Amino acid sequence: MDLARFIDHTLLKPDSTAQEVDVLCAEAIHHEFASVCILPWHVARAHAILSGSDVAVCTVVGFPLGATSTKSKVAETLDAVTRGAREIDVVASITALKSGMFNDVLEDLRAVSIAAHEYGAIVKVIIETCLLTEAEKKRMCSIVTQSGADFIKTSTGFSHSGATVADVVLLRQNVGPHVMVKASGGIRDRQTAIEMVEAGAARLGTSSGVKIVS
């Protein structure tokens, strides 16, 4: 299985350096990964390096808790896309979901989707599956489908666990047909990556991309 085009080559550590981003981008070009997923601070730098390649610039919004306001998330999104990001991984408001504020969660994500889509960028919604009940995961599938987002994503990688095959299957079965699934968090070897793809993941967020394809 050719896994490279499934991979969002990821570097989201708070202490990541510009030099590490340069290496990340070079690796992504060499291995023909789908994107690099980086902190917003580095978007313009990555865009300059990747210009002319098929590797997209992906960045995060409302990261890692999802608890910033809708206005803040939209501002982050617009800032990112105007500096070269073509993929936005936004964290859903888990605190709002847990509070039963389902319409607020929907409108939050819909606003980000509209802002990103106006610039031709795609949106992946991170729902942090390890913090949700099965019913909440299914509720988020419905919300993400209604929001107009392009992907539902399992995890930030910053909570107590990441993607599982069972969650990928659950998400794939419960989102609308136009919504794809991104598995992220804890994908560190080729076998795990293959299992996630076979379960229905269309993208894999991992910092181990080079190891996986090598």
Per-residue pLDDT reduced to its tens digit, 97-144: 999 999 999 999 999 999 999 999 999 999 999 999 999 999 999 999
- Tell me the per-residue pLDDT of 6-23, one tens digit each, with 9 for 90 and over: 999 999 999 999 999 999
Tokens 């968090």 belong to: 185
Q: Backbone phi, then psi, for 145, in 5-degree steps?
A: -60, -45
89 in active site:
yes
Q: Which two tokens stand for residue 209?
A: 């991309």
Residue 86 has pLDDT above 90, yes or no: yes
What would the two tokens of residue 17 be? 């350096």
The most distant pair of C-alpha atoms in the chain lies apart, rounded to whole Å, by: 45
- Superfamily of domain 4-213 in CATH is Aldolase class I (3.20.20.70)
Indicate whether this model's pTM tops 0.85.
Answer: yes
pLDDT of residue 171: 98
Active site residue 98: no
Instruction: Name the nearest CA neighbour of 181 among 171, 189, 173, 192.
Output: 171
Q: Which of 175, 179, 153, 10 is nearest to 89 (CA)?
A: 153
Task: Please provide residue 90's backbone torsions phi and psi, each rounded to the nearest 5 degrees.
Answer: -105, 135
59 neighbors 37 (Cβ within 8 angstroms): yes
Instruction: Name the pLDDT band for 204 (thresholds 50, 70, 90).
Output: very high
Which residue of the set 108, 137, 153, 167 is catalytic? 153
Token code pair at residue 148: 């107009």
How many whole angstroms separate alpha carbon 152 and alpha carbon 175?
8
156-193 pLDDT, tens per residue?
Answer: 989 989 999 999 999 999 999 999 999 999 999 999 99
Q: What tokens does 84 get?
A: 């070269």
Instruction: State which amino acid sits at residue 96.
Output: A
Q: What does the domain layout of the chain look like in residue ranges?
A: 4-213
Please say whether the beta carbons of 24 and 51 come within 8 A: no
Give the C-alpha separation, 32 to 21, whole Å: 16
Per-residue pLDDT at 160: 87
User: Which residue out of 89, 108, 150, 167 is catalytically annotated?
Assistant: 89
Phi-psi region of 132 (alpha: psi -120 to 50; beta: other; left: phi over 0): beta
Nearby residues of 1 by Cβ (< 8 Å), 6 or more positions away = 194, 197
Per-residue pLDDT of 29-60, as tens digits, reads: 999 999 999 999 999 999 999 999 999 999 99
Alpha carbons 126 and 204: distance in angstroms, whole number: 13
User: How does strand 7-11 pair with strand 35-38?
Assistant: parallel
182 is catalytic: yes
